[in-house]
Amino acid sequence: MSKFSNGFTLGLITGAIVGGAMALLYAPDKGIDLRDKISYKLHSLLDDLNDTLVRLQNEEAIIAESESERVVADAQQKAEDLIKEAEDLLRNISEGKNF
């Protein structure tokens, strides 16, 4: 995931928290009702944040896995190329060819 989308997601969550808190603080409610609303909204936002973090971790894990598979495949190909070169060199030596 790009830095832009990570920053955008963080900004979106922060804006939602600040906007929700401001809306609740300016609403004409009793103190206990206001605290209950703030508590509910905070728990809701924390749940959303947790879901977002889990989703981002899963996306990063998928990216890391595909990258590691690419690196392993590349290393395997290079190892196969080296083995072929070594076999050719041994065959040339056993046939008495100069190299």
Domain ranges of the chain: 3-94
Question: What band does 95 get if pLDDT is binned at 50, 70 and 90?
Answer: confident
Q: What is the pLDDT of residues 24-83, one digit of tens each?
A: 677 676 777 877 877 888 888 889 888 988 988 888 888 888 899 999 999 999 999 999
Query: Does residue 34 contact residue 27 with C-beta atoms inside 8 Å?
Result: yes
Nearest of 45, 44, 37 to residue 17 by alpha carbon: 45
